[in-house]
Amino acid sequence: MATKGKLVLFRHGETWYNRQHLLTGLRDIGLTPEGEQQARIAGLHLHGFVFDKVYSSLLSRAFNTAALALAASGTNDHLRKADGTWDIEQRPEIVEGDAGDFTGRNKSTDPEILAWPHRYDVPLPNGESDEQMVARVREFYETELLPRLERGETVMVASHAGIMAAFEIVAGLKPAPQEDIWSHRSDVRNAAPVVYEYDDGRLTSHYQLF
């Protein structure tokens, strides 16, 4: 009988930098009240999902989104520790792409950002390229996630817009682009879960939960 795994991916809720259209990168910026509510709404839609494992990036906006969603789901109290915190493994491979010198600057109006040659293999100044980001996500996906999905586990990953785009590439849903994927990050909604379904470790379908 085929094993049927599920991978639930979503970006963190709205942050104060999101609200101001600033590039966040590795800066640890907290959720707005709206972002916290988005995480709870995501959790309500995850009612019925029982997670075997939950991951987030090292950044608090992703970890807190996962924690709020788990609490709201009502079906994952087995992941709550004795001290009331959540059993969420934080991983460096799924932090947002490093925006380098562009961190904290307005991606829509900053002339240097707008003039930068946005290519998949070109790092941002003193930062990271999308190609480098996808490489670390691929390693995490192949070594950590796929074995769990092959066993039929249900796994949650709370991360970032760039990481969501990277997952589409490493899962084979989209080819690596010539232009960067940074410019498409704003298309990824805050705290909107996407479900990837697997049979024997092979991706068979994916869909937005709401």
Known catalytic residue: 184?
A: no
Identify whether the C-beta of residue 24 lies closer than 8 Å to the C-beta of residue 159: no
Instruction: Give the whole-angstrom CA distance, residue 170 versus residue 181.
Output: 13
- 11-63 pLDDT, tens digit per residue, is 999 999 999 999 999 999 999 999 999 999 999 999 999 999 999 999 999 99
Identify whether the C-beta of residue 55 lies closer than 8 Å to the C-beta of residue 157: yes
Task: Indicate whether 183 pLDDT > 70.
Answer: no
- Tally of structural domains, the chain: 1
| pLDDT for 98 | 97
Known catalytic residue: 96?
A: yes
Instruction: Give the whole-angstrom CA distance, residue 45 versus residue 55.
Output: 18
Do β-strands 89-91 and 53-57 pair in parallel, antiparallel, or remain unpaired?
parallel
SS (H, E, C) 136-198: HHHHHHHHHHHHHHHCCCEEEEEECHHHHHHHHHHCCCCCCCCECCHHHHHHCCCCCCEEEEE
This prediction has a pTM of: 0.96
Beta-bridge partner residues of 203:
198
**Residue 23 φ then ψ, to 5°:** -70, 130
- 98-133 pLDDT, tens digit per residue, is 999 999 999 999 999 999 988 999 999 999 999 999
Task: Indicate whether 182 pLDDT > 70.
Answer: no
Catalytic annotation, pick one of 12, 128, 153, 168: 12
CATH number at residue 129: 3.40.50.1240
Instruction: Give the whole-angstrom CA distance, residue 179 versus residue 187.
Output: 15
Identify whether the C-beta of residue 38 lies closer than 8 Å to the C-beta of residue 13: yes
**CA-based nearest residue to 88, from 59, 122, 125:** 59
Catalytic annotation, pick one of 96, 128, 153, 168: 96
Could you list the residue range(s) of the whole structural domain that residue 62 is in?
4-208
Longest dimension (CA), the chain: 57
Beta-bridge partner residues of 88:
none
| pLDDT for 36 | 98
